[in-house]
Amino acid sequence: MPNLENLKKQAKLVLRWHRTGYHPVAAQIRAMLPRFRDLSDSEVLAREFKLSDAQELVARQEGFDSWQALKQGLETMPQEQHAEQASAARPVLSAIAAQLFVADVTASCDFFTRKLGFAVVFAWGEPPFYAQVKRDRALINLRCVDKPVIDPALRERESLLSADIAVDTADEIKQLFLELQSAGVDFFQTLRREPWGARNFIVRDPDGNLILFAGPAE
C-alpha cells in the first residue's frame, strides 16, 4: 500500500527537479499532466509549476485523478487491506523491478522517458547514482557503476537479457513495437514470432543492456 508521507516526498522531489531544470522530469510531467502534453522540454521547464501540480502528477502515477482522490483512496485502503490479510494464508508478492547497471543515471533516465515512454519515479544523489523508472506496472531500477558488470561481447553473443517486460495481447505487442520504432530506439532484435507461441522484440539501451518486450502471438 502506498505511504502518504512517501508520496508527499515524491511530489516535493518532482517540484525540486522542475525548479532546477532537470530535463528528464519534463517528460514525466508531459506524460502525466494533459495540460503540458503539447509542450517541449524547455517549455515544460519554463512553465509555472507548483506543489499542487507535482502532487497531481504523483496521484496520477498511482492511478488517481487528483491528490484529494489519492488521499481519500488511501484512507479506505487499510480496511480493505486488513480484510484481505485476514483471509490470506501467506504474504503475496505484489511487484518486482529489474535492475540495470548504467554508466550515467541521468542519461539513462532520459533514454527511458524520451524513447521508451517511461516516467521517473525517483532519483537519488547529486548527480543521481540510483533511480527508478516506471511505465504502467513495469518498474526498472537504474544503478550507476563505473565499469560494465557484464562482459559486452558475452552479452551480445549469448543474448543475455537485463529485463523482460510483458503485455497482455498480440495487438499491444505490435503497437508497442511500432511506437518504439518510431521513437528511433536501437533494436537488438526486431519483432518476431517465437516457436513457443510468443511474439517479442529486444531493445538495446545506451549501456548495452538488452530489454525484452513480449506478448502472445495471437
Rounded mean pLDDT, 167-193: 95
Gap between the terminal Cα atoms of the chain: 35
The pLDDT value given to residue 79 = 54
Contacts (Cβ under 8 Å, ≥6 apart) of 135: 116, 117, 118, 119
CA distances (Å), 108 to each of 40, 92, 142, 207, 216, in order?
Answer: 19, 31, 8, 8, 29
Hey, what domains does the chain have and what are their CATH numbers? 4-87 (no CATH), 97-144 (3.10.180.10), 153-216 (3.30.720.110)
The pLDDT value given to residue 61 = 87
Residue-wise pLDDT for 94-143, tens only, equals 778 899 999 999 999 999 999 999 999 999 888 899 999 999 989 999 99
Report the percentage of the chain scoring pLDDT > 70. 92
Single pTM value for the model:
0.61
State the pairing for strand pair 186-193/138-144: unpaired
What number of residues does the chain have? 218
Q: Count of CB atoms within 10 A of residue 136's CB?
A: 10
Rounded mean pLDDT, 172-176: 95
Cell numbers standing for residue 50: 507548483
Q: Count of CB atoms within 10 A of residue 98's CB?
A: 16
Mean pLDDT of all residues belonging to the chain: 89
For residue 22, what pLDDT band results from cuts at 50, 70 and 90? Answer: confident
Residue-wise pLDDT for 46-91, tens only, equals 999 999 999 999 999 888 999 999 888 887 765 555 455 445 566 7
